[in-house]
Amino acid sequence: MKLTIFAATGGIGRQVLEQALAAGHDVTAVVRNPKKLPGEVRGQVRIVTADLADPDPAALESALRGADTVLSGLGPRRKAEYGIVSKGTRAIVQAMQATEVRRIVVVSAGPIGTVPSPGRPKPPKNDPGDGFFMRNLLSPLVKAALRKPYADLALMEDILRDSGLEWTVVRPPRLTNGPLTGTYRTAYGRNVRGGLRISRADVAHLMLRVLEQPETIKQTIGIAY
Ligand SMILES: NC(=O)c1ccc[n+]([C@@H]2O[C@H](COP(=O)([O-])OP(=O)(O)OC[C@H]3O[C@@H](n4cnc5c(N)ncnc54)[C@H](OP(=O)(O)O)[C@@H]3O)[C@@H](O)[C@H]2O)c1
């Protein structure tokens, strides 16, 4: 498959890139700093440089032309970058619409199903996958601490829902740098019951796996061990 990977220098993005190359896909990596790509990878991918804080539609369209699928691990590196996920994804969606690329897989976060957004002002109070501890203790604490980045992710999900594209949103709990196992639980439209963590490598694994699973189109998917 021809894949265009955004944020291929990030924790999840780098895993998506490496696993996609290992699986024999034809990869275009869109990054803001190509020097951050490992030397051995640079020769194996087409590289497009783009800062999604100041998106250049022509550069994004050139990165997308002819692609079958877009994968994005975009996220803020620091507080000053909160807002980048919705802004960047909006630019990616517009470039996809211009180039008639239909499929996109992105990373969101476990609590977002219960975070209000302009498109979903009254989400359910609790995620059906969350148990007592998550509902009453962990989720409220984390949502209070991460209000702004979560509002950004919720807005990104709005943008995808309204895009007319074939999107899949992966919602992980706490990310780790643990190994690729390929063995994890998933749940459509809700979080995984009792699932507190997942490695970035396994999130990337699911993001590539869903490309073979048309039933994942227009779905949010919880993932955890
Ligand atoms: N941390 C958690 O436990 C957790 C849990 C659930 C969900 N999440 C979500 O998962 C996301 C991805 O996680 P991660 O660990 O892979 O994140 P990460 O390592 O911080 O990677 C973020 C990626 O976004 C890129 N990026 C940021 N601003 C950009 C811009 N203006 N233009 C182009 N690229 C830009 C970064 O590029 P550079 O390499 O150039 O900086 C990097 O490639 C998080 O941001 C968060 O929304 C996180």
Say what the pLDDT of residue 65 is: 95
Token representation of residue 191:
């979080």
Say what the pLDDT of residue 152 is: 98
CATH number at residue 217: 3.40.50.720
Residues pairing with 188 in the sheet: 221
Range 205-210 average pLDDT:
98
Long-range (24+ apart) CB contacts under 8 A made by 197-202 are 197/173, 197/224, 197/225, 198/172, 198/173, 198/174, 198/223, 198/224, 198/225, 199/175, 200/11, 200/12, 200/15, 200/175, 200/176, 201/15, 201/19, 202/178
pLDDT tens digits, one per residue of 109-164: 999 999 999 999 999 999 999 999 999 998 999 999 999 999 999 999 999 999 99
Task: Provide the terminal-to-terminal Cα distance of the chain, rounded to the nearest Å.
Answer: 28
Say what the pLDDT of residue 181 is: 98
Mean pLDDT of the chain: 97
Tokens 């059906």, located at residue: 128
- Count of domains forming the chain: 1
Residue 19: which of 223, 204, 218 has the closest Cα?
204
- For a ligand 1 pocket test, name from 4, 31, 77 the mutation site with the most ligand atoms within 8 angstroms of its C-beta: 77
Say what the pLDDT of residue 82 is: 97
Contact 222, 190 (CB under 8 A): yes
pTM of this prediction exceeds 0.85: yes
Say what the pLDDT of residue 32 is: 97
The model's confidence at residue 35, banded by pLDDT at 50, 70 and 90, is: very high
Q: Which residues contact 55 (CB under 8 A, 6 or more apart)?
A: 87, 88, 91
pLDDT tens digits, one per residue of 37-72: 999 999 999 999 999 999 999 999 999 999 999 999
pLDDT tens digits, one per residue of 69-118: 999 999 999 999 999 999 999 999 999 999 999 999 999 999 999 999 99
Give the integer Cα–Cα distance in Å for 56 and 156. 19
Say what the pLDDT of residue 180 is: 98
DSSP 55: -
Say what the pLDDT of residue 144 is: 94
* Ligand 1 neighbours (beta carbon < 6 A): 7, 9-13, 32-33, 36, 51-53, 73-77, 81, 84, 88, 107, 109, 149, 153, 172, 174-175, 200
Secondary structure string (H, E, C) spanning 170-222: EECCEEECCCCCCCCEEEECCCCCCCCEEEHHHHHHHHHHHHHCHHHCCEEEE
Max distance between CA atoms of the chain, in angstroms, equals: 49
- For a ligand 1 pocket test, name from 74, 200, 220 the mutation site with the most ligand atoms within 8 angstroms of its C-beta: 74
Domain that holds residue 191: 2-224
